[in-house]
Amino acid sequence: MLRISGLSAGYHGGTVLHDLDLDVPEGSVHAVVGHNGAGKTTLVHTVAGLLRPATGTVEVAGRDVTGRPAHRIARAGVGLVPQGRRVFARLTVAEHIRLAHRPPRAAGGARPWTPQRVLDLLPRLGERSTHRGTDLSGGEQQMLALARALLGSPRVLLLDEPTEGLAPVLVGQILDLVGTLAGEGLAVLLVSPSPASAAQCADTVTVLTSGRVTARLDGPAVRKDPAELHEAMALTAH
Amino acid sequence: MGALDAQLVPAVDGVAYGLLLFVVAAGLSLAFGTAGVLNLAHGTLYAVGAYTGAELSDGTWGGLVLGLVAGTAAACAAGAVLSAATAPLARRGHLDQALLTFGLALIGGNLLVEGFGADEMPVRVPDALDTSVDLLGHRYPAYRLGFIVMAVALAAVGTWVLTRTRAGAAVRAAADDPEMLATTGLSPRVVHTGVLAAAGALAGAAGVLGAPIIGPGPSTGDTVLMLSLVVVVLGGLRSLWATLVAAIGVGEVQTLGVSVAPDWAPYLLFAAMAVVLILRSGRGLAEPHGPEHGADPPPDPAERLRRRLARVPWPWRPALAERRAKAAARTAAKAAAADGGGARTGSGRVAAAARAAAPLLALIAVLALLPTVLDAYSLSLAGYALALGLLAVSVTVVTGYAGLPTLGQTAPFAVGAYTTAKLAENDWTVGPVQVAISAVAAAAFCVVTGPAVIRARGTTVLMITVAVGELTAIAIGQWKSVTGGTDGLAGFPSTQAFWGGEPLFEELAIYQYAAVVVVCVVAVALVLLRSPAGKLLTGSREAEERMRASGHPVTRYLLVAYVGAGALAGAGGSLLIAVQSYVSPADVGFEIAALALLAAVIGGITSVIGALVGAGLIVYTRDWLAGSWPGHGPLLLGVLFVAAVYLLPRGLAGLVSGAPRAAAAGGGDDKGGHDAGEGGPAGRPGGAGRLPAPRSPADAGPPEPADAGSPVRVRKGPT
């Protein structure tokens, strides 16, 4: 569903990601782990179109979206839950939902997301519908960011450190939710500095070091024996 | 009760006036808050509506409706054009966009005068409304009451759209975080265009309906823009209700205030604006996410074109590799010289000194040669350009070096000019004495106004300095006994170049005097700016937090810079008197402030010599070129503004130092920037533009060394 090949990207003058290949099939969770500065957020932003890649291609559902502006990529079926949530400070929850709701252009395989369906999944948002983005707790903001991404009925969901700064119980909930969403056919790219949380729901785990893929592990195997992943992370510490 | 009753009519007038301003200012505020465009052409959009409405008004309802439709559509289209024009500059920050819109406003204003004539146009309201009605025992024009109803309806519809519809939510989301709006599948660019078009439509509709209140004429655009700016500042960008209250307040000052306290009303607006800004400066005027940060959009077309041109191997331009090699050699030589320390050879020192003085020597050479090629009239213009040039240098110091974008250096300029005029009236005609006393007076003025200016950052400074400039201009206009009011001062004895010298009458003598003063003043400024003190200023512009953390009293540095710049402007004001022998408020008004800022920007914002050249270019365009095409001075100036913003993103200094440096990219250690010679950074590697958008601490990256090779950055309020 999401296919990245030979991707390089960076900021003024410096390349952060080097020749990266990545494949996220429909209905699976691909976790990318790495230390700070490894290029995780750069990867997510490049896929979402917030950053233009220097080389390489990004394909969504077989369509080449490389270098398209962010809103086009969103319409091609990419939803983003950014690091730090970035909910709209001056919009209420209800307005977020209204703004983000976009019936899918082409009938995809998956059931489209409606405000009602999102509220059923995240009932807490329904209770807070008149609150502004910044008046929500961290967990609620995360739910709202997720709802905002889902309401475009994406086929690829990008999650940038979705468990950052959340209480352990919420972390578990969010990761369960990720598993559920993948079960419904979404291709999920989850980026996280923490190998434990990434491994919890991933089908594949990629270790990113200084913008390069240094290990690629099988999710279930990692869950059975996390030693290999920890080793891969430790090896790449510096 | 009697007093209250007597003031009823102006009070109701104030409501009408206030609602008119609200509709206009709401658009201005929306455009700034959402698209980050400080639209100085907003008043012109009103004028478009007003002229269209007046042209089509024929005393019938049909005429009014036709005018409303046509005026709204025209202004809406103009707003869309503005959006298209400013979009390529989105990454360069607010100042470039503001200058561009000012240029377009000049062009638009000139075209309107061209099309509709230079006189105020009469407006015929529908006959049914062309009567007066009884309002609590007073006769009151029916149209104004009708206008109040229509303006309320307009404001209500606008507010409803903004707060209750999905489109409105998109607009507010775009103001918050354009990138996240994009990830929901909506184009921030489309939203920005929509906002500017809608703001234009509102201004146009207000222009048509409000034409009987603020009628179409050559000064309509400026009047409406200034008043709207005041409203936006007082309202504070955050809430429409606050904007409404501010608009009614300004409306009441303009009507009730003038009726109750005619002497004080003019001050009230800008004083209130200054007070609000100063009180708020801790938080700043909510700086919008103007430039679409991060989202590396395709480089703007102008930039692309320039890069392409830079790659063309022009015959007169050394090959790129050769230039780079030279630059590298220079850097290496410098490093070696620095390492050598005491062991530095004598010839090396001489060469270094020569290089440092090269721009000044070039200036002297050009100034010395000018009289041989110019006729007497052009020479007098050149003298005026020198006076304006000092003002531009002063803007360069404040905007480029201290990082405080200013439209208010005309205030110390005015203080200098009027000081010299008063000195001359009292027979103190010796030039150096006039210059020195004027500079001191202007500096003293800046000591007083400085604390209000230097606490703020970014666009807030621009607004505060506008207020300072306007208040000064108003004070000059009001204080007739000293300043001669709007008539100005004239008829005082001419300046002598030195003690016992002949009074300066001849154009050549005046020019020579001005040139000598400018060279001396600029030399002093250059020495100071290149001294360690200048480096401290650069450091506090680039990395204010870090300088503070290192124990530097940044605020004091800024005050010193502001006061020093004031002295420069004062000296320029003194020259103005020597050159043209009269002064009026028009010589020190907002337009001159904008011209000075443009001159500094043309020069490259941190280039002292560039600012002088920029001033020369402006005077050449406005007075000399326009002489051969009468009545089109503003049009030519507007074109100059537009061309300068698009084609010279790093100013003339950027041309001299060469575009290819942009390719060198990388860190701020590229000291080659000094080789442009004007004592400052010539440009930003990586083509980030002359005044990149304020960076938030989050993406500031590793702190750069506080050297002069770093990018110019407009200060931003604490976040």
pLDDT score, position A57: 94
DSSP-based three-state secondary structure for B138? strand
Least confident of A72-76, B3-7, B226-230, B559-563: B3-7
Cα(B143)–Cα(B126) distance, rounded to whole angstroms? 8
Classify the phi-psi angles of A153: left when phi > 0, otherwise alpha if psi is within -120 to 50, otherwise beta: left
Q: Of the candidates A52, A70, A79, which has its C-beta nearest B182's C-beta?
A: A70
Decide if B360 is inside a domain.
no
Task: Flag whether residue A13 sits within 8 Å of chain B, measured between CB atoms.
Answer: yes
Cα(B128)–Cα(B69) distance, rounded to whole angstroms? 20
CATH code of the domain containing B629: 1.10.3470
The parent domain of residue A181 ranges over: 2-84+154-235
B22 and B170 together in one domain: yes
Task: Flag whether residue A19 sits within 8 Å of chain B, measured between CB atoms.
Answer: no
B513 and B384 together in one domain: yes
pLDDT score, position B697: 36
Does residue B664 have a pLDDT over 70? no
Cα(B611)–Cα(B598) distance, rounded to whole angstroms? 9
Mean pLDDT along residues B612-633: 85
Decide if A160 is inside a domain.
yes
CATH code of the domain containing A19: 3.40.50.300
Specify whether the CB–CB gap between B374 and B585 falls below 8 A: no
pLDDT score, position A157: 94
pLDDT score, position B455: 81
Maximum mean pLDDT: which of B123-132, B257-266, B383-392: B383-392
Percent of chain A, pLDDT > 70? 95
Q: What's phi and psi for B318, nearest 5 deg?
A: -60, 150
pLDDT score, position B536: 87
Decide if A99 is inside a domain.
no
Percent of chain B, pLDDT > 90? 25
B241 vs A191, higher pLDDT: A191
Decide if B550 is inside a domain.
yes
Confidence of residue B631 (pLDDT cuts 50, 70, 90): confident
Residue pLDDT, tens place only, A160-180:
998 888 888 888 888 889 999
Cα(B709)–Cα(B672) distance, rounded to whole angstroms? 8
Q: Please name the residue of chain A whose CA is at the shortest distance from the CA of residue B190.
A: A71
Q: How far is CA B518 from CA B513, B521, B552, B576, in A?
A: 9, 5, 32, 12
Q: How far is CA B569 from CA B126, B520, B572, B576, in A?
A: 51, 14, 5, 10
CB atoms within 10 A of CB B630: 7
Decide if A130 is inside a domain.
no
Residues 6 or more apart in contact with residue B154 via CB below 8 angstroms: B23, B202, B205, B206, B209
Mean pLDDT along residues B577-583: 88
- Nearest C-alpha of chain A: how many angstroms from B367? 41
Residue pLDDT, tens place only, A118-130:
999 999 999 999 9
The beta-strand segments (E) located in B98-252 are 132-135, 138-141
ipTM of model? 0.93
**Of residues A52, A2, A233, the one with CA closest to residue B292:** A52
Decide if B704 is inside a domain.
no
B32 and B156 together in one domain: yes
Task: Flag whether residue A99 sits within 8 Å of chain B, measured between CB atoms.
Answer: yes
Number of structural domains (chain B) is 2
Does residue B342 have a pLDDT over 50? no
Decide if B110 is inside a domain.
yes
N residues, chain A: 238
B618 and B504 together in one domain: yes
Cα(B253)–Cα(B17) distance, rounded to whole angstroms? 10
Residues of A in contact with B184 (CB under 8 A): 71, 74, 99-100, 102, 148, 151-152
Question: SS in 3 state form for chain A?
Answer: CEEEEEEEEEECCEEEEEEEEEEECCCCEEEEECCCCCCHHHHHHHHHCCCCCCEEEEEECCEECCCCCHHHHHHCCEEEECCCCCCCCCCEHHHHHHHHCCCCCCCCCCCCCCHHHHHHHCHHHHHCCCCEHHHCCHHHHHHHHHHHHHCCCCCEEEEECCCCCCCHHHHHHHHHHHHHHHHCCCEEEEEECCHHHHHHHCCEEEEEECCEEEEEEEHHHHHHCCHHHHHHHHHCCC
pLDDT score, position B219: 85
Specify whether the CB–CB gap between B583 and B577 falls below 8 A: yes
Does residue B204 have a pLDDT over 90? yes
Mutate to test the interface with A, among B184, B186, B191 (most CBs of A within 10 A): B184
Least confident of B85-89, B252-256, B623-627, B670-674: B670-674
Number of structural domains (chain A) is 1
The parent domain of residue B88 ranges over: 2-118+125-280
Does residue A92 have a pLDDT over 90? yes
Least confident of A131-145, B308-322, B544-558, B588-602: B308-322
pLDDT score, position B292: 36
Cα(A76)–Cα(A65) distance, rounded to whole angstroms? 8
Task: Flag whether residue A45 sits within 8 Å of chain B, measured between CB atoms.
Answer: yes
Structure tokens at A44: 């997510």
pLDDT score, position B465: 87
The answer to whether the CB atoms of A71 and B185 lie below 8 A apart is yes
pLDDT score, position A170: 86
Of B259, B280, B301, which residue is a domain's last? B280
Does residue B509 have a pLDDT over 50? yes
B393 and B528 together in one domain: yes
Task: Flag whether residue A121 sits within 8 Å of chain B, measured between CB atoms.
Answer: no
B263 and B388 together in one domain: no
Confidence of residue B698 (pLDDT cuts 50, 70, 90): very low
pLDDT score, position B715: 45
Mutate to test the interface with B, among A17, A46, A50 (most CBs of B within 10 A): A50
Mean pLDDT for chain B overall: 79
Q: Please name the residue of chain A whose CA is at the shortest distance from the CA of residue B663.
A: A13
Residues of B in contact with A151 (CB under 8 A): 184
B387 and B265 together in one domain: no
Maximum mean pLDDT: which of B131-140, B270-279, B661-670: B131-140
Does residue B674 have a pLDDT over 60? no
Structure tokens at B590: 């907002």
Q: Of the candidates A51, A100, A148, which has its C-beta nearest B296's C-beta?
A: A51
Decide if B385 is inside a domain.
yes
Of B280, B299, B333, which residue is a domain's last? B280
Mean pLDDT along residues B522-532: 89
Mean pLDDT along residues B445-457: 85
Structure tokens at B703: 């702190």
The answer to whether the CB atoms of A99 and B166 lie below 8 A apart is yes
Percent of chain B, pLDDT > 70? 81
- Nearest C-alpha of chain B: how many angstroms from A47? 11
Maximum mean pLDDT: which of A189-198, B233-242, B512-521: B512-521
Decide if A164 is inside a domain.
yes
Decide if B690 is inside a domain.
no
pLDDT score, position B533: 84
Decide if B686 is inside a domain.
no
B409 and B263 together in one domain: no
pLDDT score, position B294: 37
Does residue B488 have a pLDDT over 70? yes
Residue pLDDT, tens place only, B463-478:
888 888 888 888 888 8
Residues of B in contact with A70 (CB under 8 A): 179, 182-183, 295
Does residue B392 have a pLDDT over 80? yes
Confidence of residue B675 (pLDDT cuts 50, 70, 90): very low
Does residue B688 have a pLDDT over 60? no
DSSP B299: P
Mean pLDDT along residues B195-209: 93
Mean pLDDT along residues B304-328: 52
Decide if A149 is inside a domain.
no
Does residue B1 have a pLDDT over 80? no
Least confident of B59-63, B226-230, B675-679: B675-679
Decide if A120 is inside a domain.
no
Confidence of residue B104 (pLDDT cuts 50, 70, 90): very high
Does residue B665 have a pLDDT over 50? no
Mean pLDDT along residues B102-122: 89
pLDDT score, position A108: 56
Of B603, B620, B650, which residue is a domain's last? B650
Least confident of B198-202, B346-350, B493-497: B346-350
